[in-house]
A and B are shown apart, each in its own frame.
Chain A
């Protein structure tokens, strides 16, 4: 056998990355190619670009800054219901946009719970609409993701480090500087970049909570270019700008991120001796719980009425959604695992950037590009579900890589040399060691992908014929037919399915949390 510096080959991962990049850029080119004559970049697009950057930056920074104390508190404390809480905290992230908006407004809206309470004291209702509303909604969506990713960073610190720190009598602050800060340096820039990229493509949330055309984002401009102006060239140009911004953010994040790992441990349960005063931790946990679970509980309350009168067609759509989510999860793992392994083995740059592109790609451009590409050969509605699953997988890829990559890197660092000295082949290393060691992260990533796919309206509306509706599409159709109660019921069903899929797949991911 040839001499290798790494226990496994990065080529499958590079191959997957090239596929993903070709998919995203190919659809973009297909759309641009189809264009004839374009107004190009309009003055209003500058305004949209500025607003988009502003809200995405604020949303990412605030989400991550709030997530750090919450994740720290959750990492330090063990209490009854912690597992359920951690799972529930993931829910906002996987809610369909429209459902989340209604949940948020029932709490923070003009006639929401908080305004009602303020009214009791004779105070005016709070005004949620504006830049702060957009940021609030984005923090609501992304705080859970940031918390989970950062919490995972904490869980990946071997228990022995904390034991040693306690034996050395390190105080909380020193412990933070020596152990936790390096971990944050490694994890936080990537999380920032991911959330920034998600918020770049925000559209309905930004418009609705932004209170009007001031809150026009680039994604809305893309939609307008497609449907209102039918200016494909401009749509492609704007989409390229989104991709450019995301790549820039990703490159900056990679540069800032500290790559050093923590080395191996004995996988013992983490025990902490530094948690002196629980009050601060519980403050953060309660704050996050309240902020995230109040709107969620309003979704549950409003859905209960409609849940028992759901038309059978909704259950059919739920079946379709489960299928799509399953397929999407499989596609995701097939792409993400080799890519994570390749990044872990030292092939950074291109693979990581290809991985984050999925977030910045406008779903509308992806869908339309695919539509243009497949239409000469196949009836697009025949592929509706496959395409939806594929697009959902590509969109979940950035999250999956954030989850899988640090673990892959640690596995290679800690077990790679032993594997090589045993002359273990790359494939055996991947199957026997990597997959086994990364089980929690694989479960988490798969759960997230399944749930995201379940809740995503995605491109199905571009492709679907009357009969193949997913659950989110059926929710929109119910709303379009004035059946708001049934829609709320279907939204609750969707929430349960998403959470169920997440819970099921993520079980393994909460290994540390279970002790």
Chain B
């Protein structure tokens, strides 16, 4: 037996016991740790990383309202982004407690209203638009913007359907036109009154959903490679592709409807011809794009805007979008207000903010999509290099909803052989 001092199992159990014991004995006051990072620690601006406190405001913008302890409830925990490693320790204590203490209600700071927006996970990620959007909206709304990330567009809609009329969401942001028919059917969403000078490839007439960005689906290849000019050429060539599964991923569903919109009843035959080009089908966009970068396939299904990321963020011009002469299927991402919201005015304010420059300027280089309304200062440098498809394909929402299941059955039939 190893000596006691070097017994990791024992030490582990013992350590956990001491911690619990201390907590019980009141050695560590839960509330004290809880509040410390909120009240004492300098606040960090998530976008610029600079420290700000109440006396001076070097970062500009108003200070977040001081959190108020609502009787052991949750106190603005989720809004704190403490990004420095120095704060990791506080942070961890903080998280232990966040996990361990159940608050009976989701209490919030008393003096500021909270607008809850459900969106997809990559929107709220630290590298997505979320942090900047939050800072920008909170600068004008005298409110707290609570962004909740749910996997992807389809999972987002499922979450809202699961919660139904009792949903905590005031706004759902991140559905696309292939999902809006199903979303509308739920009767959970309220009409909007937003008008804007949209830069969309189609005229926007939807009275429930407001677009916030858009893009074209496209295959991405390595610059200089021999690429096909349409699906027929692709099927005839031995170019390999990796695509996403329409059952689990929005780009996958986009491709399904792209082929359907371009070929109608001949779509099954096109898929049958494509089947020997498809290296594999992945669950989501990340896996597929990763496989392409690893060299597993010559092309991957993504967006015409994908090369902009490599060009702008990595100064790498080696990825190009491949133009198909059938036209490219568009994805228009939308948001809508929930009918059950208790923050109706604030939600309207957010939807109007969403099509303003403050929001639209953030989109191109965080979500890597085209803004729904071109901001006054135009698109970032690099976007002018992207291909412009000859024509736009897009099934309208009702049609897309109707076609979806039929197209999926055809796809499964053609590729399962």
Contact = CB atoms under 8 A, between A and B. Distances in A.
Interface of A: 34, 44, 47, 98, 101-102, 105-106, 109-111, 129, 203-204, 207-214, 220, 223-224, 226-228, 230, 232, 311-313, 315-316, 319-320, 323, 326-327, 329-330, 333, 368, 371-372, 375, 377-379, 381-386, 389, 439, 442-443, 446, 461-462, 464-469, 473, 476-484, 487, 504-505, 507-508
Given A98-B286, A461-B121, A479-B286, A379 B106 contact: yes
Interface stretch (B152-160, B211-219, B334-342): B152-160
B283 interface: yes
Interface string B154-188: 11011001110000100000000000001000000
A325 to B, nearest CB: 11
A57 to B, nearest CB: 20
A102 B290 contact: yes
Among B1, B12, B411, the most chain A Cβ lie within 10 Å of the Cβ of B12
A327 B95 CA distance: 12
A110 B9 contact: no
Nearest to A318: B88
A509 to B, nearest CB: 9
Interface stretch (B55-63, B126-134, B196-204, B227-235): B126-134
A323 B88 CA distance: 12
Interface in B202-256: 240, 245-248
B345 to A, nearest CB: 23
Contact of A312 (B8, B83, B121, B147): B83
Given A319-B91, A320-B95, A504 B296 contact: no
In the A-B complex, the 10 residue pairs with the closest CB atoms: A379-B106, A481-B127, A385-B99, A111-B295, A477-B125, A479-B286, A466-B124, A480-B122, A227-B154, A224-B247
Interface of B: 1-2, 7-9, 12-13, 16, 74, 77-85, 88, 91-92, 95-96, 98-100, 102-106, 121-122, 124-128, 130-131, 146-152, 154-155, 157-158, 161-163, 168, 182, 240, 245-248, 275, 278-283, 285-287, 289-291, 293-297, 306, 309-310, 313, 368, 411-412, 415-416
B284 to A, nearest CB: 8
B12 A505 contact: yes
A379 B95 contact: no
A96 B310 CA distance: 26
Nearest to A379: B106
17 contacts: A105-B291, A207-B282, A207-B283, A212-B278, A226-B155, A227-B151, A227-B248, A230-B157, A230-B182, A316-B82, A326-B16, A386-B100, A468-B78, A480-B122, A481-B122, A504-B12, A507-B2
Contacts of B146: 465
B2 A508 contact: yes
B148 A208 contact: no
Contacts of B278: 211-212
Contacts, number: 232
Nearest to B125: A477
Contact of B92 (A34, A212, A323, A381): A323
Contact of A468 (B82, B98, B126, B131): B98
Contacts of B96: 323
B403 to A, nearest CB: 14
Contacts of B296: 105, 109-111
Contacts of A333: 13
B280 A209 contact: yes
Given A208-B282, A377-B102, A508-B2, 7 more contacts: A213-B415, A227-B158, A228-B246, A230-B157, A468-B95, A468-B98, A481-B128
Given A111-B294, A382-B98, A466-B147, A482 B280 contact: no
A389 B12 contact: no
Contacts of A101: 287
A111 B146 CA distance: 44
A487 B122 CA distance: 14
Contacts of B152: 227
Given A378-B103, A384-B99, A466 B158 contact: no
B286 A507 contact: no
Contact of B155 (A227, A232, A312, A465): A227
Contacts of A481: 122, 125, 127-128
Given A466-B130, A481-B125, A212 B148 contact: no
A102 B84 contact: no
Contacts of B281: 207-208, 211-213
Contacts of B286: 98, 476, 479-480
